[in-house]
Structure 1
Amino acid sequence: MVLGTIIQAAAVGDEVEAGQAAFFGFMGIASALVFANLGASYGTAKSGVGIASMGVLKPELIFKSIVPVIMAGILGIYGLIISLLIYQKINKETYTFFEGYKHLASGLCCGLSSLGAGLAIGIVGDAGVRANAQQEAVFVGMILILIFAEALGLYGMIIAIVISQ
């Protein structure tokens, strides 16, 4: 009787521990998605303001100026990918605190890298499309800077994939 109670208590304790460990995994999912989407939304909004301002002067350049908005939108996809990868690894029965911490770090890595990239894309996109309206030779330089800013989010996603495995 006493032995049965001890075994049952141990089983319940393991289940509670797995549930508590999963909290960190789910926080990793939320961090990846929320921070990546914050970066994407800031980059889109800031670049959109520049496009609207530039469109008054040279409406024929609007389509060409959408590049920063597209690049900012990709950051949200990075967060979605990492969130799905982490979610597939969460198993209530066998999930440990180590895995939870690992997935939290993975989500923060991707999310915060994408947030930083979104800030850079927004600022460069805003200034770049306005400058492009005045001098079209600026376009190639703007694209190169945007590529390097996007690479910051990509680096975060790559390391997040490595960490989450």
Structure 2
Amino acid sequence: MSVMRPELIMKSIIPVVMAGSEQFTGRNLCSGKVLAQSFLHLGAGLSVGLSGLAAGFAIGIVGDAGVRGTAQQPRLFVGMILILIFAEVLGLYGLIVALILSTK
């Protein structure tokens, strides 16, 4: 991007920042949990992990194609940002499912 369109360098950093926001923290489980509660925590962890992985892949693919497209046609920037937001929501849905599972 810096070679083709140097004025669009700052706009090209947005997909990198959005991919970095897909980091979730885990927590320690107590050892006295029953088996059903342990499986709920396993499901919650898988929900967050797999949805974060899917969101990361989506943001990476859209970010790469969007930055290349924005270099050729600057009007594609708004569309790229919208698609990146929709991809980011995938990780949020996994977090919501994990919160529901962990509160049961």
For the aligned pair, the TM-score class normalised by the smaller chain equals over 0.9
Report deviation, 1:59.
2.1
Normalised TM-score (structure 2): 0.92
Q: Identify which of 44, 51, 60 aligns with 1:122.
A: 60
Gaps of 5+ in 2: none
Shift of 1:125: 0.2
Corresponding position: 1:136 with 2:74: yes
Computing the radius of gyration over CA atoms, which structure comes out larger, 1 or 2? 1
Q: CA deviation at 1:67?
A: 1.0
Task: Report the counterpart of residue 60 of structure 1 in structure 2.
Answer: 7
Residue of structure 1 equivalent to 2:94: 156
Q: Distance in 2 between matches of 1:69 and 1:161?
A: 27
Q: CA deviation at 1:55?
A: 2.1
How far the C-alpha of 1:66 sits from its partner, in A, is 1.1
Match of 1:69 in 2: 16
Q: Distance in 2 between matches of 1:162 and 1:69?
A: 29
How far 1:138 sits from its partner (Å)?
0.2
Structure 1 unaligned blocks of 5 or more: 1-53
CA drift at 1:161: 1.1
Moved over 3 A (4+): none
Measured in 2, the distance between the counterparts of 1:137 and 1:62 equals 15
1:99 pairs with one of 37, 43, 55: 37
Distance in 2 (alpha carbons) for counterparts of 1:74 and 1:160: 18
For residues 94-142 of structure 1, give each alpha carbon's deviation from its aligned partner in whole angstroms, at most 9, with x where no partner exists: 3111111111100000110111111111010001011111111000000
What percentage of residue pairs aligned between the two structures are identical? 56
Q: Which structure shows the bigger proportion of residues in helix conformation?
A: 1
**Superposed CA RMSD:** 1.1
- Once the two structures are superposed, residues 41-88 of structure 1 have per-residue CA deviations (whole angstroms, 9 ceiling, x without a partner) of xxxxxxxxxxxxx22211221111111111111111xx21xx13xx2x
